[in-house]
Structure 1
């Protein structure tokens, strides 16, 4: 029997985050699902429920400033991607650890969700990590037409939105949830550098724990994903130099699918992909 329980997570700075536990009666491990930029936690509910059927207590949650239900409240709201890692990811990992007690935990990060592990001071609570469509945001390494769309977002639509709204609203060239100004500006700066955030990790983002992470990382990359590809995925994996990493390049046809793209792995049609992902989770907790 699987149950869903809403939960308010409290980050180290006191900020409250919205989350949902999706759990079986007798879990054998925990699965922390961290969203891509601008994706609401509800997007991952189907996968979480499926994983719960396979014995995982899952936690889905929203980063600060995302999926708030009141976009105008983001005017002047201060949050960036670093906060999502140091404060929000860390709070979610701690909450899941309390929930599953001494059972093993695997993290599953979609896109930016795989960038956050090394920011969290409690990173060692997870015994392994799964990346799904995780790659650097550098526009020059993306597939057409993403480079053009990225440049228009970074230097056209985005600046106009910041000047008029003081945050990045949903709509126009941005199909995700509204984003705080700081998150957008930090993401834009990194995405205009071929090393993405690697230069900042060596300077302004210290202290962090990217060099300390030793738990294995399994990276799923899809051949029709315009953003995460072997080149961009390697940039992120190399940010964890002590972790044993493995990248798996998948064609949609491998799972009987016509397309997967950047977010299709989490859609209902992709249950076969879910089995492959959860098989890796099983191996990591074994």
Structure 2
């Protein structure tokens, strides 16, 4: 493992919003620069161990909090006008632009967790990515979920979210163990998109008028787990169908065959699952041209 340092950053989006981010810098030349796209309502702290692992293997890695979440929340969450759409159109592109400026002539990769992979087609600069690796990224379509989890999902999406938004002006998702409190705009889009087909495709021609889902051809690997009730195989397929021009590889991990009690939707990034991190490391090595590695 290589030495690395950690810098706390504030990165400005095109619309002027400032995001809290953290850069993990390897000593010497970086093999490539990696953007870790977080799941809905999950703070960057959750990915710290994983980012340190990648930095220790020579990669520059950046984590961040989407607007309205964690250290990127300014003021009350009920006052935030954040949406899933602006996370993909504003926040993720700004982080990638920072990497491009800091590591010019490098290879750039996205490692997306759930929404962090789903939203990549909204990034105007997604074409600058050399590869995409996702975990638990799918359409999250409620119709495809199996009982009894389907009942829990419908309760959260179609009852808890609207009632919480009405009473509190935001979604108190933390009460159900669903990450940070969510701005109402984020939660409302999450509900709408998971009730439809193809997640973000639900908003095409409505709130979303420009995107790269139909043109993006970046090499990608989509990984899910057999014990994930959300990113089940049919929902991964449903999400990939939105990427009309992408040739994507898939991989399904089983906790039993990997010596784990649980992987589910979240535990891939747990230090207890760190032996699974060899999968993204192998992917990065095979998709990073040696000639593009920079300092």
TM-score past 0.5 threshold = yes
Pick one of 12, 17, 24 that aligns with 1:22.
24
Structure 1 unaligned spans of 5+: none
Deviation, structure 1 residue 204: 3.7
Matches within 5 A, 1:120-199: 120-199=123-202
State which of 111, 114, 119 in structure 2 corresponds to 1:111: 114
Change (3 A) 1:70 1:135: closer
Secondary structure in 2 matching 1:212: coil
- For residue 226 of structure 1, report the CA deviation from its aligned partner: 0.8
Tell me if the contact between 2:67 and 2:73 (Cα under 8 Å) persists in the aligned partners. no
Give ranges in structure 2 of 5+ residues lacking alignment: 290-295
Name the residue aligned to 1:34: 37
Counterpart Cα distance in 2 of 1:72 and 1:101:
35
* Cα drift, residue 157 of structure 1: 2.1
In structure 1, C-alpha distance between the alignment counterparts of 2:40 and 2:199, rounded to whole Å? 15
Q: After superposition, what is the alpha-carbon deviation per residue over 1:193-235, rounded to whole angstroms, capped at 9, x for unaligned?
A: 1333323235541111112211111011111111112111112
Are the structure 2 counterparts of residues 83 and 69 from structure 1 closer, same or farther at C-alpha, using a change threshold of 3 Å? closer
Which one of the candidate residues 260, 280, 286 is aligned to 1:283? 286
The DSSP-based 3-state class of the residue aligned with 1:108 is strand
* Aligned residue number for residue 250 of structure 1: 253
1:69: Cα distance to partner? 8.0
Instruction: Kindly indicate whether the alpha-carbon contact (under 8 Å) linking 1:27 and 1:57 is maintained by their aligned counterparts in 2.
Output: yes
Aligned length: 286
Q: Taking structure 1 as reference, are residues 28 and 65 closer, same or farther at Cα in structure 2, changes over 3 Å only?
A: same
Quote the offset at 1:24 in angstroms. Answer: 0.5
Give the Å deviation of 1:72.
6.3
1:263 is matched with 266
Compute the TM-score of the two structures, normalised by the length of structure 1.
0.95
Inter-partner Cα distance in structure 1 for 2:36 and 2:133: 10
Q: Deviations over 1:248-267 (max 9, x none)?
A: 11211332222210011000
Q: 2:11 aligns with which of 9, 12, 20?
A: 9
